[in-house]
Structure 1
């Protein structure tokens, strides 16, 4: 009986340690793509919209001005943002989100825009 109680507590404690995870992004990490018009991030749990931020930097580390992210799903776990026309080159996406349980998670990834034909 004690074993089952300990096992139950261990399983439940793992749920408490779970944090928001990025499930997918478009453009994908390390992808080489034609100039995208939209950036989309999808997470494994609902987010607090007021505390979600996306920043985009070009190869010269200059920040590209972006609008605020728009949530495109319910629950609010997928956000999208229109992109301005992007020149060929490498771009760095830095994102920061807060889940509805109050945990902040942040990370970054890069993608490359192909030269126009």
Structure 2
């Protein structure tokens, strides 16, 4: 199979910094045939071109916070993350976990495996904990 199916889940959250309500990309599922892996935005840190594609596919969702590389003092480094649509405060992956019961489908699309999606899926499947970051 030369194509990867991508399904992005979203959830509504409140910003820890400004209190505004906004939307985050909470989980992304990649599937090729019978191989499936689920990841979060932080796992796109080594795949910025795929993060840009994902962001473009989610752009029609009103109030979606920007997906971009941000510095985290807690982590002591930078990683791709969700951010508040109003003040751009980092919404860390630790808090994304709490949204799992509120998720809904935000976007689905298919992409060629050769565009990096196949490598990302393979790396996720080969990782010890199912994550790349």
Query: What is the TM-score when the length of structure 2 is the normalising length?
Result: 0.28
Bigger relative contact order (CA 8 A; separation at least 6): 2
Q: Which has the higher helix share?
A: 2
* Rg (Cα) greater in structure: 1
Query: What is the TM-score when the length of structure 1 is the normalising length?
Result: 0.30
